[in-house]
Chains A and B, each alone.
Chain A
Amino acid sequence: GDSVTQTEGLVTLTEGLPVMLNCTYQSTYSPFLFWYVQHLNEAPKLLLKSFTDNKRPEHQGFHATLHKSSSSFHLQKSSAQLSDSALYYCALSGNAGAKLTFGGGTRLTVRP
């Protein structure tokens, strides 16, 4: 079956430093990949999604590149902000929305 792996459970870094959160996946088909962000006491919200190999979506300074050859969809940002502190979930789906398979999540804490 499908699976998503996020190797870091916790990431702490200083404001202004680059962010990279890892996501790899296993699927028997060519899935759609997503990043969701959940701030404290808020609902998970879609951050960005990718449908095409090597296409790089961007949102709020975050970007991710889908590499089918390595089954990866790592989330990156050049300079972390305090407001980026949140829980980040990588997910995949067989189509653009329904039945998401989530990774375990990475809690990002950005310190001054």
Chain B
Amino acid sequence: GPKVLQIPSHQIIDMGQMVTLNCDPVSNHLYFYWYKQILGQQMEFLVNFYNGKVMEKSKLFKDQFSVERPDGSYFTLKIQPTALEDSAVYFCASSLGSETEVFFGKGTRLTVV
């Protein structure tokens, strides 16, 4: 079935540095999402993105976070600067429409040290 690819699967970064998480969504999908899952907690919505714009973001989507998808390439989540509390698994997802099935990637485990 359709696959969302996330690169890398694990990343370790020094606190205060910038990190970019990459997501290759399903090729014809138009809606893109990031979710955050802290160890032992539930997956929580961060942001959704459509037509080059953030449609909705949660309170977890801090000012240090940004998303973009330049020229139909990777959908990225950038954190600058990183903080210890950003350590989590970040799941990317995509869907064809706003009311169609959402497909998830395997996640990127980010560790901020």
Please report A residues at the B interface, Cβ cutoff 8 Å: 4, 36, 41-46, 89, 95-105
| Contact residues of B: prevailing secondary structure | loop
Minimum CB–CB distance from A66 to chain B (whole Å) comes to 17
Stretch at the interface among B14-22, B60-68, B78-86, B91-99: B91-99
Interface string of B71-113 (1 = CB under 8 A from A): 0000000000000000000010001011111111111000000
Which chain B residues numbered 30 to 56 have a C-beta less than 8 Å away from chain A?
31, 33, 35, 41-45, 48, 55-56
Q: Given the known A-B contacts A43-B4, A44-B91, A103-B42, are A98 and B102 also in contact in the complex, defined by CB atoms under 8 Å?
A: yes
Q: Given the known A-B contacts A98-B31, A98-B95, A99-B56, are A46 and B42 also in contact in the complex, defined by CB atoms under 8 Å?
A: no
Cβ-defined contact, A98 with B101, below 8 A:
no
Please report B residues at the A interface, Cβ cutoff 8 Å: 1, 3-4, 31, 33, 35, 41-45, 48, 55-56, 91, 95, 97-107
**How many Cβ-Cβ contacts under 8 Å join chain A to chain B?**
63
Cβ-defined contact, A102 with B43, below 8 A:
yes
Cβ-defined contact, A46 with B102, below 8 A:
yes
Cβ-defined contact, A97 with B101, below 8 A:
yes
Cβ-defined contact, A45 with B99, below 8 A:
no
Cβ-defined contact, B42 with A43, below 8 A:
no
Minimum CB–CB distance from A60 to chain B (whole Å) comes to 13
Residues of A within 8 A of B101 (CB): 46, 96-97
Query: Which of B44, B48, B106, B107 interacts with A98 by CB under 8 Å?
Result: B48
4 nearest A-B pairs in the assembled complex, by CB-CB distance? A96-B99, A102-B43, A104-B42, A44-B104
Other than the given A45-B103, A46-B101, A98-B33, 10 more pairs (CB < 8 A) read: A43-B4, A43-B91, A43-B104, A46-B103, A95-B99, A98-B31, A98-B55, A98-B56, A102-B42, A105-B43
- In the bound complex, how far is the Cα of B26 from the Cα of A45, in angstroms? 14
- Select from chain A the residue with minimum beta-carbon distance to B6: A43
- Select from chain B the residue with minimum beta-carbon distance to A96: B99
